[in-house]
Structure 1
Amino acid sequence: MTDSRYLKRTIVKEVIESKYLNEQRTLRVYLPPGYNELLSYPVVYCQDGEQFFNFGRIATTANQLIMDEGIEPFIIVGVDVDLEVRTSEYAPFGSRFDAYTSCFAEEIIPFIEQKYPVRPDRILAGDSLGGCVSLHLALKNPHLFTKIISLSGAYYDLSREIIAKETDLSWLSIFMIVGLQETAFESGSKVYNFVEINRTTRSLLEERGASVYYEEKDGQHTWGFWQKELPSALAYFLE
């Protein structure tokens, strides 16, 4: 049973106007226990914001890490996505990919950094295609992002081709985990072996000098698996 202390969470909803996406985008901002505007905090940016908070229970996990594990207090920003256009925004072959990644780097980051006392110690987190777009955001903006949490990243052919063209990724640190039961994941009309996809991506990253923490564990391509792995993923960068 979850300790009731962990359930007392402060989550602020923000809405930004994006000129790149030509629409509004909702952000969910978790503020840690004892939040003080005079202090400064590391920040974790999550793709699939609503899912990270509702299914990943990331705010509850953050409270537990801060209250009981001695982790330095940190802020979380969840960026919501319309699931109907998720692939077009998160996949590098998507029609909204350039607009979304520009919105993230040039609109969301400045908005948060002007309104909240966050340090330029940024972590990007994502599941499946969310892990993919997080890595691409870092590749496109290495001056902004150097730390990635990738939960069963969906690094399809084009993503791996883009990574293969990189020559020096020694600035990048990535936490990768994939479930051993993710060998036949159906998406649309295709079936993907996420274990092989992540193994190949790991090799590509390491060959180019990236610092890679990599694990394969029993698990499916679901939030039931990813939720259990979030504490160790967050602690990896925040300890």
Structure 2
Amino acid sequence: MLKKKGYYTLLNRTKKTFHSNILKQDYEYCVLTSDEETEEAYLLYVQDGKDYLELGKLENAFQNLLEKQPEIARKLVFILVHPGNSMDRWNAYHHKGKKFKQYLTFMTEEFLPEVEVEIGRKIVRRGLLGDSLAANISLNIAGMCPETWTHLLLQSAAVSEKDIEMVEQLKYVQWLVYQTVGKYEDEYVSLLTNENLYILTRNRELHEMLVKKGARIVYSEQEEKHEWRFWKSDLMNALEFFLFTS
């Protein structure tokens, strides 16, 4: 458990392990909250959770929110999921990965129900946050049960045509979506597959499809590349969207 002093409150970070019978492996995850528990919870599932803590400095962003808007920020509960090494991540987060479909089933049928029983609070918002491939898996998790989710926070989503087709097959969504991408991200080439992912182009296509399906979106293209410096600087905007957009 980690505690940091803040103007109004402290942060609690609890590291846990979840065994998946579907995937037959353990996953590390963290629960991050303020230590002043509220009856209602704004629950945010974060893929690439370890990176958001270490590279995105999510705790600092959370502390800033608590200092600016303590009453509402205390409702935040972060569930930060770590997928494993880079190959584990690709296999779980990419639709061509060996464990992609199983990971979606694991998150939807195993992980969420058990974690939310443990949280034991009234969940009034339920969102997903991810960067790059973590944004892609977040989109696909939401697509499994669209009515379950209120908010999607997508930073430089590494989506493919197949993932956009998944959205096209949905009847209608009421998601509130924060979607941001860098103007130079069509230049990014995957370090694992050596393929150009055309991230800017695909995000423009995804944005059009989400609008078509009824999502309410804040969409922005920024003078940025595909890197953590961008997502870290943009994180407060994404979290404020989750807190204040309804």
Distance change in 2, residues 1:118/1:151 (3 Å): farther
In the alignment, which of 161, 168, 180 is matched to residue 157 of structure 1?
A: 161
In 2: Cα distance, 1:5 partner to 1:66 partner: 8
**1:222 corresponds to:** 227
Q: 1:159-199: CA deviations, max 9, x gaps?
A: 12222223322x22211000112121011221132111111
**1:68 pairs with 2:93:** no
Q: Is 1:20 aligned to residue 22 of structure 2?
A: yes
Q: Name the CA distance, whole Å, in 1 between partners of 2:200 and 2:147.
A: 30
Structure 2 SS opposite 1:85: helix
State the 1:227 CA deviation: 0.7
Indicate whether 1:189 and 2:194 are aligned.
yes
Paired letter, 2:238: A
Q: Which residue of 2 aligns with 1:202?
A: 207
More displaced 10-residue stretch of structure 1: 227-236 or 61-70: 61-70
Write the letter of the residue equivalent to 2:186: T
Q: Deviations over 1:193-228 (max 9, x none)?
A: 211111111011111211111001111111110011
1:15 CA displacement = 0.7
Match of 1:95 among 95, 98, 106: 98
Q: Which structure 2 segments of 5+ residues have no match?
A: none
Show the 5 A alignment for 1:113-128: 113-120=116-123, 121-128=125-132
- Residue aligned with 1:86, SS: helix
- The CA distance in 2 between the partners of 1:55 and 1:210, in whole Å, is 29
1:235 aligned to which of 236, 240, 245? 240
Q: Could you list the per-position Cα deviations for residues 67-112 of structure 1 after superposition, in whole angstroms to 9, with x for gaps in the alignment? A: 2244431111100111222122112232211211111112221222
2-structure distance, mates of 1:25, 1:147: 24
Runs of 4+ in 1 over 4 A off after TM superposition: none
SS across alignment from 2:196? strand
Asked if the contact 1:179–1:195 (Cα under 8 Å) also holds between the matched residues in 2, the reply is yes
Provide the rounded CA distance (Å) in 2 between the counterparts of 1:136 and 1:41: 23
Contact kept? 1:25, 1:79, Cα under 8 Å: yes
Cα RMSD (Å)? 2.0
Match of 1:59 in 2: 59
Q: Deviations for 1:46-67, whole angstroms, at most 9, x for unmatched residues?
A: 0011101111111221111122
Assess if the C-alpha contact under 8 Å between 2:93 and 2:100 holds in 1: yes
Residues 4 and 10 from structure 1, CA distance in 2 versus in 1: closer, same or farther, beyond 3 angstroms?
closer
Unaligned runs of 5+ in 1: none
Q: Describe the SS at the equivalent of 2:28.
A: strand
Give the C-alpha shift of residue 148 in structure 1. Answer: 0.5
CA contact (8 A) 2:39 2:122 kept: no
Identical residues among aligned pairs (%): 24
Count of residues paired in the alignment: 234
- Distance in 1 separating the partners of 2:67 and 2:111: 28
Contact persistence 2:108–2:144 (CA under 8 A)? no
Worse overlay, 204-213 or 221-230: 204-213
Matched, 1:46 2:46: yes
**Contact residue 143 and residue 166 of structure 2 kept, 8 A:** no
Structure 2 CA distance for aligned equivalents of residues 35 and 20 of structure 1: 35
SS at match of 1:132: helix
Letter in 2 for 1:144: T
For the residues of structure 2 that align with 1:118 and 1:231, how far apart are their CA atoms? 24
